[in-house]
Amino acid sequence: DIWIITLTDKERTGIGECAPLPGLSLDNFDQIESKLDEICQDLNHFLTDLSLLSDFPSIRFGLEMAHLDLNNGGGQHYFSHFKSIDINGLIWMGDTEFMVSQVEEKLAEGWKCIKMKISAIDFDKELEILQSIRSRFDQNELELRVDANGGFTENDVMVKLEKLSKFDLHSIEQPIKPGQWELLSELCQKSQVPIALDEELIPLIDEKDRIKLLEKVIPQYLVLKPTLLGGFFESKKWIQLAEERNIGWWVTSALESNIGLNAIAQWTSKMQPKGFQGLGTGQLFTNNIPSPLNVDQGILSSNNSPIWNDVNQFISDWYSPNDEMTLHTSGSTGSPKSIQVKKEWMRNSANLTGNTFGLKEGDSTLLCMPMKYVAGTMMVVRALELGLDLTIVEPSSNPLEGISEQIDFAAMVPIQLENSIDQLDKVKTLIVGGGQVEPKLIKRLQNVPTDIYETYGMTETLTHVAIKQLNGSNKSKFFQALDGVHFEVDDRGCLVIHTPMLNPNPIVTNDLVDLVDEASFRWLGRVDNVINSGGIKIIPEVVEAKLTAVISDRRFFIAGVPDESLGKKVILIIEGERLDISLDSLEKYEKPKEIHFIEKFRVTTSGKIYRNSTLDMLRE
Q: Is the pLDDT of residue 287 over 80?
A: no
CATH dotted code for 85-303: 3.20.20.120
Whole-angstrom distance, CA of residue 65 vs CA of residue 260: 8
What distances in angstroms separate CA 32 from CA 2, 25, 39, 214, one per listed residue? Answer: 10, 12, 11, 30
Highest mean pLDDT range out of 92-106, 327-341, 582-596? 582-596
Question: Poorest-confidence range of 112-121, 333-342, 370-379?
Answer: 333-342
pLDDT in tens, 485-499: 999 999 999 999 999
Query: Three-state DSSP class for 98?
Result: helix
Q: Class for domain 530-616, per CATH?
A: alpha beta
Largest CA distance in the chain: 106
323-526: CATH superfamily = ANL, N-terminal domain (3.40.50.12780)
117 is catalytic: yes
Domain coordinates in residue numbering, the chain: 3-71, 85-303, 323-526, 530-616
Whole-angstrom distance, CA of residue 289 vs CA of residue 59: 19
The DSSP annotation for 197-213 comes to ESGGGTT--SHHHHHHH
What distances in angstroms separate CA 399 from CA 310, 394, 408, 410, 412, one per listed residue? Answer: 18, 8, 15, 10, 9
Whole-angstrom distance, CA of residue 38 vs CA of residue 55: 14
pLDDT in tens, 391-448: 999 999 999 998 999 999 999 999 999 999 999 999 999 999 988 898 889 999 999 9
Residue 281 is predicted with a pLDDT of 54
pLDDT in tens, 66-113: 999 999 999 999 998 789 999 999 877 667 777 778 878 888 888 899
Within 13 A of 437's CA, how many CA atoms are on the CB side?
27
Q: Is the pLDDT of residue 283 over 80?
A: no
Instruction: With 0.95 as the threshold, say if the pTM is over it.
Output: no
- Is the CATH code 3.20.20.80 the one for domain 3-71? no
Q: Is the pLDDT of residue 286 over 70?
A: no
What distances in angstroms separate CA 553 from CA 245, 548, 576, 579, 617, one per listed residue? Answer: 73, 9, 10, 11, 21
568 is catalytic: no
The DSSP annotation for 429-496 comes to EEEE-SSPPPHHHHHHTTT-SSEEEEEEEEGGGTEEEEEEE-SSTT--SSEEEPTT-EEEE-TTSEEE
pLDDT in tens, 501-531: 999 999 999 999 999 999 999 999 999 889 9
Within 13 A of 408's CA, how many CA atoms are on the CB side?
16
Catalytic residue among 115, 225, 468, 608: 225
Type of residue numbered 8: T
Residue 65 is predicted with a pLDDT of 97
Type of residue numbered 382: R
Neighbours of 84 (CB within 10 A): 13
